[in-house]
Amino acid sequence: MSWWLNIIEYLKNSEDNSTDGNFSVKKTVTRALAESVVDLLYYALGFFSSIYFLAGIYLFFLDTGVYNGLFIKIFDSLSEPYLGSVGIYVILKEIRKRQLKTKSKHLGEYFVFSWLILFIVAVGFVGFSPNYHFNEIMGAITTITLALTVIYTGGLLHKP
């Protein structure tokens, strides 16, 4: 449910249940946003994951430019925070699955499949094309793909 739908629902319920005339918009909006803050965190992590994934594709396949070495170092230095954010995402998703007993609307497993496809394609290019080598970017792609695959497999095996 979107955050604005939560606000509308709270406003409607507060008006219906408010018999003493003490209606506080600030309190109602604060409660609605507090429940939606986890969704906001999911979207922020999803945005970071998307940008990081696209940066990996760009740096691996378009290995050109004056600042390429700098961008590769930045990409490599963000691999651990990226895996940390994936860990946070998985923890939040598992808690939500167990508490709400509903299917998640946040489909992070598509990131796992995307990284796996990128890894397979990159291995093919490294193995069969003289223009591609096992460099820092390929090492980061390998590390991230293996970590994500292990985390995803663990989540599949440990169903609530």
Average pLDDT over all residues of the chain:
78
Question: In this structure, is the dihedral angle defined by the CA atoms of residues 98, 104, 106 and 108, taken in order, positive or negative?
Answer: positive
| 134 assigned to some structural domain | yes
Q: What digits encode the pLDDT tens for the residues 132-160?
A: 889 888 999 999 999 988 888 887 776 65
| 28 assigned to some structural domain | no
| 51 assigned to some structural domain | yes
Q: Place 70 in a pLDDT band, splitting at 50, 70 and 90.
A: confident
| 103 assigned to some structural domain | yes
> Domain residues for 92?
40-157
* Residues ≥6 apart with Cβ < 8 Å to 49: 82, 85, 86, 89, 108, 111
Question: By C-alpha distance, which of 143, 33, 145, 49 is closest to 88?
Answer: 49
Average pLDDT over residues 19-24: 57
> What is the count of structural domains for the chain?
1
pLDDT exceeds cutoff 90 at 43: no
| 97 assigned to some structural domain | yes
| 72 assigned to some structural domain | yes
Average pLDDT over residues 61-81: 83
Which of 38-52, 69-83, 86-100 shows the lowest mean pLDDT across its residues?
86-100
Its pTM stands at: 0.71
| 104 assigned to some structural domain | yes
At residue 124, the pLDDT reads: 95
Q: What digits encode the pLDDT tens for the residues 82-125?
A: 888 888 877 777 777 776 655 655 566 788 899 999 999 999 99
